[in-house]
Structure 1
Amino acid sequence: MRNIVKNFANLIFLLLIIPVFLLYRIIKFFTKSEKTFHGFSQLVSLFPGTLGEYVRKSFYYLALKKCSLDCCISFGVIITDSESEINSGVYIGTYCTLGKVSIGQDTLLGSNVDIINGANQHYIERIDIPIREQGGEFPKVYIGEDCWIGNGSLIMENIEKKCVIGAKSVVTKPIEAYSIAMGHPARIVKKRLDV
């Protein structure tokens, strides 16, 4: 019965969000700017409670490269790239900021987790040109299935499946599958297979 109610709510909110999505597409068509996506991401981040969760996942279902309707995207979450992917069973805590990312099935992100696209987002080699004009690299960050990323973590590299990342950790290097990592920078302290 609960699944029937959830599916019905998903359908209702998908229908309700279509005008917002169409407005987003029209503005994006005329502006040819990714900033349009940023603005709508900020807008949908502001709806509180359970209704807000339905608003966000319905909008992202239509606007992202991939977004399951079986996920939870909490209040204050901002996604900055429409190429992002959110799989089923994903939970994203409050006030997370996500760059270009692919989040595997059943992964949990605590509150205030930031995922940015690597250490080379901004080139800094030239001092005669402002940093903002030097370009950069924005590779997609991959987070495997069934991971748990603790509150306040900063993720800059890929995390393979079934990892646990301690709260306030800063991931600057790829993390192998089944690892428990923590710290600044994050280091593997144990393997989940050894527990």
Structure 2
Amino acid sequence: MKKNLKMILNGFFILLALPLILIFKILAIASDHDALFSAFSQFLSLFPGKTGSYLRVGFYRFIMNNCHSEVVISFATLFSQSNTVIGRGVYVGPQCNIGKCTIKENCLIGSGVHILSGKGQHNFNDLETPLKDQGGAFKRVVIGEDTWLGNGAIVMANIGKKCIVAAGAIVVNDIPDYSIVAGNPAKIIRQRNQ
């Protein structure tokens, strides 16, 4: 019964999101796709509660590379890249800022987490060129299945499966499977499988 009710709710919120989806697709023909996506993400982030989450998921399912229907995307969470993948069972807490990434199944993303599009987004080697004009490279960050990112974590590198990232940790290097990490920069404090 609960599963059927969720399917009905998902269908209803897809219908509610349909005008936004169509407007986005039309505007995307003549606009910068990611800038437009970011603007729509900002607008959708303002709807509170479960209603807001269902509406966001209804929209993102058709605009992102892949967004499973069984996810929660909380209030004030912003996405900057449509080239994002969100797997089944993912919970994204409030006030997150998420770039180009893949979040695999059953991950928990705490409040205020920032997942950047790698650590090379901004070049800064040319002292004669303003920082804002030096460009950079966006890299896909992968968060492995069943991983928990604590509140306020900042992630710029891949994280393996079944990891725990402590609140406030700053991940600048890839983290292997089953690791518990903390600190700035994040360091392995123990392995979950030992």
Q: TM-score, normalised by structure 1?
A: 0.97
Aligned to 2:151: 151
Match runs of 1:40-51 below 5 Å: 40-51=40-51
SS of the aligned residue for 1:132 comes to helix
Deviations 1:13-51 (A, max 9, x none): 111111111101111212244211110000000001110
SS of the aligned residue for 1:102 comes to strand
How far apart, in 2, do the equivalents of 1:33 and 1:166 lie? 34
SS of the aligned residue for 1:193 comes to coil
Q: Does 1:28 align with 2:37?
A: no
RMSD: 0.8
Report the Cα offset of residue 120 of structure 1.
1.4
Aligned to 1:12: 12
How far apart, in 2, do the equivalents of 1:4 and 1:56 lie? 20
Aligned to 2:131: 131
Q: Name the amino acid aligned to 2:51.
A: L
Q: Sequence identity, in percent?
A: 39
Q: Report the more deviating stretch, 20-29 or 3-12.
A: 20-29
Q: Report the more deviating stretch, 180-189 or 117-126.
A: 117-126
Match runs of 1:152-167 below 5 Å: 152-167=152-167
Aligned to 1:101: 101
Aligned to 1:91: 91
Unaligned runs of 5+ in 2: none
SS of the aligned residue for 1:62 comes to helix
Aligned to 1:73: 73
Deviations 1:105-127 (A, max 9, x none): 00000000000122211111101
Residues 135 and 17 of structure 1: is their aligned pair in 2 closer, same or farther, counting only changes over 3 Å? Answer: same
Q: Name the amino acid aligned to 2:150.
A: G
Unaligned runs of 5+ in 1: none
Q: TM-score, normalised by structure 2?
A: 0.98
SS of the aligned residue for 2:124 comes to coil
How far apart, in 2, do the equivalents of 1:137 and 1:31 lie? 21
How far apart, in 1, do the equivalents of 2:106 and 2:33 lie? 32
